[in-house]
């Protein structure tokens, strides 16, 4: 069932500060609720691969800065008379780990970003904790492993993105975090297939373009160029 067809609009009182929440297990039906929107107004549903700062290229709210990376337009829906939306769409496996954000087309204001995370994240055996997040390689390589000291030095096999985790956003400071570990490889892959060096290689960009991460469209990821691993994170 499409997101638009699954909408159930409820009147629940006065408008509030804008908020968006997503709950439930992914894949499957998930509860999406938003409040604080323009009563009766049109709302655009935006989706993305994860956190980012993509700018909308056109439309009535052109140049609005989202909290999404790889932003795309999914559909438009209408808030009820109290500025609320409640939806229960069936989210497919290919969308698990993706993010969603609502854009109020009357005010061009955005809700917070939420994730089709599939419930609470299960911890990995090997995690690096920094600034409220646990970081790991998607194949759970030891954080302090020297180059080639684990089972391999490159993650060429696809691994599914676990529930509650996301591909690490390509944001300022991520190169510092990656350089704290080794993960038995040279470089770690983040959003967009961009790559930064571990302590087994060199600090900063690995002298390659982005786009070096494979994606099967069903939620599994791998390195398309060695020696690299996909990096993921979960909130603590």
Share of the chain above pLDDT 70, in %: 90
Rounded mean pLDDT of 200-224?
89
Residue 6, pLDDT > 50, answer no
Output 70 or 27, whichever has higher pLDDT.
70
**CB neighbourhood size of 192 (10 A):** 19
Residue-averaged pLDDT of the chain? 86
For 102-141, letters b (16+ CB in 10 Å) and e give: bbbbbeeebbebbbbbbeebeebebbbeeeebbbbbbbbb
The C-alpha angle 230, 233, 236, rounded to 5 degrees, equals: 165
Question: For residue 232, what pLDDT is reported?
Answer: 94
Domain ranges of the chain: 7-115, 128-235
CB 198 within 8 A of CB 178: yes
Q: Beta strand pairing status for 187-189 and 228-235?
A: parallel
Residue 11, pLDDT > 70, answer no
**Residue 20 bridge partners (DSSP):** 34
Question: For residue 19, what pLDDT is reported?
Answer: 87
Task: Give the CATH fold of the 7-115 domain.
Answer: Immunoglobulin-like (2.60.40)
Q: Give 31-83 pLDDT, tens digit per residue.
A: 899 999 999 999 999 998 777 788 998 889 999 999 888 898 999 999 999 99
Distance CA 141, CA 80 (A): 48
Per-residue pLDDT band at 119 (split at 50, 70, 90): low
Distance CA 60, CA 71 (A): 16
Sort 165 into a burial class: Cβ within 10 Å, 0-12 / 13-18 / 19+. Answer: buried
**Residue 205 bridge partners (DSSP):** 196
Distance CA 21, CA 75 (A): 18
Output 217 or 179, whichever has higher pLDDT.
179
Residue 233, pLDDT > 60, answer yes
Whether this model's pTM surpasses 0.85: no
Q: Give 73-115 pLDDT, tens digit per residue.
A: 999 999 999 999 998 988 876 677 788 999 999 999 999 888 8
Output 229 or 93, whichever has higher pLDDT.
229
């Amino acid at each position: 069932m499409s997101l638009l067809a699954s909408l159930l609009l409820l009147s629940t009182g006065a408008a509030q500060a804008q908020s968006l929440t997503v709950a439930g297990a992914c894949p499957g039906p998930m509860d999406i609720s938003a409040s604080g929107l323009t009563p009766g107004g049109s709302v655009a549903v935006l989706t993305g691969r994860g956190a980012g700062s993509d700018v909308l290229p056109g439309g009535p709210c052109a140049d609005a800065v989202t909290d999404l990376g790889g932003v795309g337009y999914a559909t438009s829906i209408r808030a009820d008379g109290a500025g609320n939306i409640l939806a229960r769409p069936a989210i497919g496996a290919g969308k698990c780990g993706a993010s969603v954000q609502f854009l109020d087309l009357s005010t061009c204001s955005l809700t917070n970003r939420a994730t089709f995370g599939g419930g609470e994240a299960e911890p990995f055996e090997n995690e690096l904790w920094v600034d409220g997040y646990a970081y790991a390689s998607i194949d759970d390589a030891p954080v302090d492993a020297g180059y080639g000291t684990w089972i391999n030095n490159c993650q060429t096999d696809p691994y599914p993105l676990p529930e509650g985790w996301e591909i690490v956003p390509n944001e300022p400071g991520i190169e510092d975090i990656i350089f704290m570990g080794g993960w038995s490889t040279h470089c770690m892959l983040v959003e967009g297939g961009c790559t930064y060096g571990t302590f087994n290689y060199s600090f900063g960009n690995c002298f390659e373009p982005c786009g070096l991460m494979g994606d099967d469209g069903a939620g599994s990821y791998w390195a398309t160029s060695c020696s690299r691993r996909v990096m993921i994170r979960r909130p603590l």
